[in-house]
Amino acid sequence: MENSLGLLRIHMQRGVNLAVRDMKSSDPYVIVKMGKQKLKTRVVKRSLNPEWNELLTLSISDPNVPIKLFVYDRDTFTFDDKMGDAEFDIGPFLQVISMGLAGLPDGTVITKVGPNRQNCLAEDSCIVFSNGKVVQNMVLRLRNVECGEVELQLQWIATSGSKRLLSRNRVMGFLKIHVQRGINLAVRDIVTSDPYVVLKLGKQKLKSRVMKANVNPEWNEDFSLYVTDPKLPVELCVYDKDTFSFDDKMGEAEIEIAPLHKAAKMHLKGIPDGTVLSKIQPSNQNCLVEESCITWTGGRVVQNMILRLRNVECGEVELQLQWADVS
């Protein structure tokens, strides 16, 4: 325990559509392993959708070691039957914990981890600020079994060793991006496209919903990215969703956030709504289609912009930026 960075509390919530291992049901329980640590839930009798609602706590000394999860069916007279396994990476969660965030609005989504071939996520896993704490919700798809998922939530408990987690690059604030619409996007199917937007900043990656058969899509979606260095631009990429092949690229652009951050640092209050604080002109060094105004709107500093997509025959994306300081 002397090398522990802290404690990871796992709220093992429930299983969903687990495999049948007895006559018509199963008696499932979960085992969690990390290194030499091994924890076990109680057995829920005759249920393929068990509600465990148990708290399991692991001591974390090496955040690079994956946590493994095994589901079993309890048998009285034979060996317990396997009902699938999964593993999850706590690296993204601990990266957010190391920021030392406090005072955020309840429900703020700090970042999302998407499902891919390297993890067991069944859907986007959101790391959120909830009730004064950072938590991560996840749904894991079980492997080596015909069906089944497990829902859980992660929470961090700081100890004396947690000071070693503190990041040198403190979070300076949050960038809220309202992706409004695409304009005259490129055709990538026969006569249209199924576009979606991906936003990237460092290791953060967020994705909009897909708009079917529309080269002028109205997304109207809000995203939040944490910012450690406002000099780094946000990368925006547009893709056409394909079912049976790789998604086609539909152009890209960069979002410069330094001017917005500079205006937000003025800590303005009480000025008339609609006051223009600054204007950024289109140039060869940015992706702006037209002049972008930073204004005082609704008691906040916001920036409206239209970006011309690069490396594509046509297409623009309209969005609005808003800066939120970390309390």
CATH label of the domain that carries residue 135: 2.60.40.150
Q: Is the pLDDT of residue 16 over 90?
A: yes
Domain identity same for 10 and 159 = yes
Residues 184 and 320 occupy one common structural domain: yes
**How would DSSP label each residue in 219-271?**
EEEEEEEEES-TTSPEEEEEEE--SSSPPEEEEEEEE--HHHHHHHTT---SP
The answer to whether residue 221 scores a pLDDT higher than 80 is: yes
Cα gap 149→207, rounded to integer Å: 23
What pLDDT, in 10s, does the model give residues 32-76? 999 999 999 999 999 999 999 999 999 998 887 889 999 999 998
1: in domain: no
**139, 265: one domain:** no
Query: 66 lies in which domain range?
Result: 6-165
pLDDT of residue 168: 45
- Amino acid 326: pLDDT: 66
Statement: residue 230 has pLDDT above 80: yes
Residues 203 and 150 in one domain: no
Query: What is the Rg, in whole angstroms, of the alpha carbon atoms belonging to the chain?
Result: 23
- Residue matched to tokens 């946590």: 67
Q: What is the pLDDT of residues 250-287, one digit of tens each?
A: 999 999 999 999 999 888 888 999 999 999 999 999 99
Task: Tell me, yes or no, whether 123 and 25 share the same domain.
Answer: yes
Q: Are residue 190 and residue 310 in the same domain, yes or no?
A: yes
In a domain, 23, yes or no: yes
Asked if the structure places residue 63 within a domain, the reply is yes
Give the number of other CB atoms < 10 A from CB of residue 43: 17
Both 154 and 39 in one domain: the answer is yes
Residue 26 reports pLDDT greater than 90: yes
The sign of the torsion formed by the CA atoms of 283, 285, 291, 294 equals negative
CA distance 304 to 291: 9
Residue ending a domain, among 111, 144, 165, is 165
- C-alpha span between 234 and 255 (Å, rounded): 5
Q: Which helix (H) or strand (E) holds 195?
A: strand 195-201
Structure confidence at residue 172 (pLDDT): 80
Same domain, residue pair 11 and 159: yes
Share of the chain above pLDDT 90, in %: 68
What pLDDT, on a 0 to 100 scale, did the predictor assign at position 298? 87
Asked which of 133, 165, 197 is the last residue of a domain, the reply is 165
In a domain, 57, yes or no: yes
Q: Are residues 95 and 118 in the same domain?
A: yes
Domains of the chain: total: 2
| pLDDT score of 160 | 75
- DSSP codes of every residue in 49-103: S-EEEEEEEEEES-TTSPEEEEEEE--SSSPPEEEEEEEE--HHHHHHHTT---S
Asked, for residue 103, whether it belongs to a domain, the answer is yes
Q: In this structure, is residue 90 part of a structural domain? A: yes
Dist CA 32 CA 12 (whole Å): 10
Q: Residues 56, 139: one domain?
A: yes
Lowest average pLDDT, out of 105-109, 209-213, 255-259, goes to 105-109
pLDDT of residue 85: 98
Question: What mean pLDDT value characterizes the chain?
Answer: 91
Total length of the chain: 327
pLDDT of residue 2: 55
Residue 148 scores a pLDDT above 50: yes
Structural domain contains residue 69: yes
Whether residue 225 is found in the same domain as residue 306: yes
CA distance from start to end of the chain: 32
- Structural domain ending residue among the three candidates 144, 165, 186: 165
Q: Are residues 31 and 135 in the same domain?
A: yes
- Report, as an integer, the average pLDDT of 82-105: 88
Q: How confident is the model at residue 13 (pLDDT cuts 50, 70, 90)?
A: very high
